[in-house]
């Protein structure tokens, strides 16, 4: 993972998010943390949501502050839509602290993984995956769309598993949730286009994060993925975060409804 010192070195390289305010869900660790730091290094202020990792989210806020950017951590548990109302109240208070009535960027990163072949998948686990990974994304966009500034951007996190099973059929339900995200991305791009809000998705391949480290630490699994990737390595969170930053910026102002795979060339 990129260190704070490395992030500082990159601070002034590309300030294409100067003055923007971004909400990053699930930002306490892994991909969300990398995305928040990357955008902060480009000039964005950050509202970082977390479910359970409060201490990690608060540490992230300190790191962003050290980049001379503003940040605030807000709890958001996406396992129940009943939590959205209190989140909106806390968000409105946070916006006031930032001197804003709206925000520019929403990164729907928070999600859960789960693996089981069909014969072992329980209804409870199935419902939990679709609630957190799909239902929550839909209703978060629905509830927050009027607070996104015209010219703003929504980035959803998909997965290369929607195109490549890699013969890991025990991830069929997880990959189905990400296929649903792809459909929501395209349809919201059409619906919100009239408001000049762009909606895209990033689909990482095998990427080493807190969620995947146990799985990808297996040498056999790691070598299998490397062999199927054109660039012959496992992805890192900092391989994904610049793609998200591009879609968050005005550099991609003519890009919407796209699912951009960032997998190092999986199964080309």
Q: How far apart are CA 99 and CA 89, in angstroms?
A: 16
Distance separating alpha carbons of residues 200 and 217, to the nearest angstrom? 30
For the chain, count helices (H), then strands (E): 10, 9
DSSP 8-state symbol, 51: S
d(CA 38, CA 17): 10
Catalytic site residue from 50, 166, 171, 174? 174
The answer to whether the CB of 91 falls within 8 A of the CB of 124 is no
Catalytic-role residue among 171, 178, 241, 249: 178
- Out of 41, 158, 241, 252, the active site residue is 158
Active site residue 166: no
Catalytic-residue membership of 86: no
CA-CA distance, 185 to 192, in Å (whole number)? 10
Q: How far is CA 254 from CA 17, 56, 183, in A?
A: 16, 35, 19
The active-site residue, picked from 41, 153, 159, 262, is 159
The β-bridge relationship of strands 45-50 and 71-75 is parallel
Backbone angles phi, psi at 135, to 5 degrees: -60, -45
Question: What pairing do the DSSP bridges indicate for beta strands 45-50 and 148-157?
Answer: unpaired
Residue with tokens 């930002």: 27
What are the beta bridge partners of residue 207? 235
- How much helix, strand and coil, in percent to the nearest 5, is found in the chain? 50, 20, 35
Catalytic site includes residue 158: yes
The catalytic site residues sit at 158-159, 174, 178
């Amino acid at each position: 993972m990129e260190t704070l010192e490395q992030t500082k070195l990159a601070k002034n390289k590309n300030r294409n998010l100067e003055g923007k305010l971004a909400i990053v869900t699930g930002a306490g660790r892994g991909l969300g943390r990398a995305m928040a730091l990357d955008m902060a290094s480009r000039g964005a202020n950050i509202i970082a949501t977390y479910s359970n990792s409060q201490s990690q989210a608060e540490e992230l806020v300190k790191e962003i502050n050290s980049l001379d950017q503003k940040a605030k951590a807000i709890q958001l548990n996406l396992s129940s839509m009943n939590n959205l109302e209190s989140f909106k109240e806390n968000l409105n208070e946070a916006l006031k602290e930032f001197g804003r009535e709206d925000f520019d960027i929403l990164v729907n990163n928070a999600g859960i993984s789960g693996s089981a072949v069909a014969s072992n998948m329980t209804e409870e686990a199935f419902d939990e995956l679709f609630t957190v990974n799909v239902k929550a994304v839909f209703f978060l966009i629905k509830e927050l769309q009027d607070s996104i500034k015209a010219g703003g951007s929504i980035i959803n996190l998909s997965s290369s598993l929607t195109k490549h099973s890699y013969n890991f059929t025990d991830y069929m339900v997880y990959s189905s949730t990400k296929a649903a995200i792809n459909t929501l991305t395209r349809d919201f791009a059409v619906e919100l286009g009239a408001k000049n809000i762009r909606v895209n998705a990033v689909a990482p391949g095998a990427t080493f994060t807190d969620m995947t480290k146990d799985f990808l630490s297996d040498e056999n699994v790691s070598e299998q993925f490397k062999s199927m990737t054109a660039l012959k390595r496992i992805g890192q969170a900092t391989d994904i975060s610049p793609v998200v930053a591009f879609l968050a910026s005005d550099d991609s102002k003519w890009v919407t409804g796209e699912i951009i795979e960032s997998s190092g060339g999986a199964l080309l």
